[in-house]
Amino acid sequence: MTYLDHAATTPMLPEAVEAMTAELGRLGNPSSLHSAGRRARRVVEESREIIADVFDARPSEVIFTGGGTEADNLAVKGIYWARRAADPARTRVLVGAVEHHAVLDAAQWLADHQGARVEHIPVDSLGRVDPDVVREMIGPSGGADIALITVMWANNEVGTVQPVAELAALAREHDIPFHTDAVQAAAQLPVSFAGSGVHSLALSGHKLGGPLGVGVLLLAKGIDPVPVLHGGGQERDVRSGTLDTPAIAGLAAAVQAAAAQREEHARRLTALRDRLIACVLDAVPDAVLNGDPVNRLPGNAHLSFPGCEGDALLMLLDARGIACSTGSACSAGVAQPSHVLLAMGASPERARGSLRFSLGHTSTEDDVTALAEAIGPVVERARRAGLS
């Protein structure tokens, strides 16, 4: 199979497989006080230190979760609840219009059930948030009624990288917590928690070569969200639940390995991505590249194909052994145009006729060649089917 869907999930790195496999054969609950528990706790804390070091955070700022979705929900809901408890007037939540549904739907739930006033931050035609627009949305009150602002580091569909540090500085200027979903950025871009100035940041293991079912919320000192889960009080009393020691060990190994390879990895993926885009546009001259052509994820190529349905293209490519997606894997199978492209000003037809090709650590020139040979005939066939 030619796998061009690394943004949905990427194969585990060998270092992560080795670390997780070794830990699966060992015993110990990291909350237990006996020697087996203390041994497991040592693995967890050493992993916490590795992750903190790579992402420029303090170990105490690393909160383990069950994945990126949980991390986003904990930040968005928990910070909203905490801020509103301190001041009932803080009901506004500013949310990027092109966020992952883990953020969008969490915010909408707050609107439907908790009295939040959710306002979507618009983007330009490249999918980029303008800090001046956010400044205007904060308004003359200086954000006294805002619970939090959340804008992702890099878009999971079109790959556009946001000016996160500038947005976080603006939020700090008005004493507003700023959350960012860095799930897609962490494996391919230098992500610094302290350097960016954000208050909370979500990561997911399986997007950067670690295992499924484990993630991290980086949470600055002084930011104390109301927990979504209650129980044993693990993880700073912010996220209860028995820690998955094998998954955490695998995550730490993946983070360390990905960081060591990041610069070379990004250079290689950028070259592969640019060749992929050129090959597709050569085969389908009227295809349109979506997202920022410069400030985008190294491994992301998102294109629209006029006169085609994205689902039809996906299935035709799959029949040829090529795996890609029409957008977020979490929304796969949902028969509606991409909210990301609609927010960027695309027509519903263009939004429905788009594909995301995403590259990762196992991607090769052969993968690009396979797509280059297939995409022209596939688009032609999809267009004929649409006319019949």
**Host H or E run for residue 168:** helix 164-173
Q: In Å, how far are 61, 145, 183, 235, 359 from 201, measured between CA atoms?
A: 10, 22, 9, 15, 23
Give one word for 206, left, alpha or beta, with left for phi > 0 and alpha for psi -120 to 50: alpha
**In terms of Cα–Cα distance, which of 332, 298, 301, 331 is closest to 315?**
332
> Which member of 279, 308, 324, 330 is catalytic?
330
Calpha distance 175→173 (Å, rounded): 6
In this structure, the number of other CB atoms found within 10 A of the CB of residue 236 comes to 14
Strands 322-323 and 117-121: unpaired
DSSP 256-307: HHHHHHHHHHHHHHHHHHHHHHHHHHHHSTT-EEES-SSSB-TTEEEEE-TT
The reply to whether 324 belongs to the active site is no
Report yes or no: 353 and 304 within 8 Å, Cβ to Cβ. Answer: yes
**In terms of Cα–Cα distance, which of 223, 249, 250 is closest to 238?**
223
Catalytic residue ranges: 330
